Amino acid sequence: MTTEGPAGVRLRSSTVQTLALAIHELATNASKYGALVQPNGRLQVRWTFEQAAPSAKPWLHIDWRETGLVMPPSDAPARGTGHGRELIEKALPYQLGAKTSYSFEADGVHCTISIPVSTTGKETEHA
């Protein structure tokens, strides 16, 4: 597993809670079915901070990429209930104004999450 990104990205506690749930779901799936359990699996998590124009909010971009996996056939029945994917694709955009994507690629899962980050003084450092 590799991680890469800047330290000190400031997030509101309400953002951290919802984002942590999404990352927890990704990590749970990786530890049950994916990169953290398959012998050739690799997990790379990158995040970047995009400073916006003075009148706009900056964005936090997270890229979760699992590779080297043996994926089930596309016609195989789904495992689990899909709550994690629903959280990422529906709840994050609704609750945080996030832009997300979640896809099953030939050798792993690829998820991107982009979240607008507030610049108010009431933020708490968590990342």
- What is the number of domains present in the chain? 1
Residue 84: pLDDT above 50? Answer: yes
Question: What would the pLDDT profile of 40-58 be if each residue is shown by its tens digit?
Answer: 999 999 999 988 777 788 9
Q: How confident is the model at residue 12 (pLDDT cuts 50, 70, 90)?
A: confident
Residue 17 clears pLDDT 90, i.e. is over it:
yes
pLDDT at 79: 67
Could you list the residue range(s) of the whole structural domain that residue 63 is in? 2-125
pLDDT at 72: 86
* pTM of the shown model: 0.86
Question: Is a pLDDT exceeding 80 seen at residue 81?
Answer: no
Q: Say which CATH number the domain at 105 has.
A: 3.30.565.10
What is the percent of the chain where pLDDT is above 70?
A: 90
Q: pLDDT at residue 7 above 70?
A: yes
- Residue 121 CB-density burial (10 A; 0-12 exposed, 13-18 middle, 19+ buried): exposed
| Backbone phi, psi, residue 15, to 5° | -70, -45
What whole-number distance in Å separates Cα of residue 85 and Cα of residue 66?
15
Residue 120's pLDDT is what? 56
Distance CA 23, CA 45 (A): 10
Residue 21 has pLDDT above 60, yes or no: yes
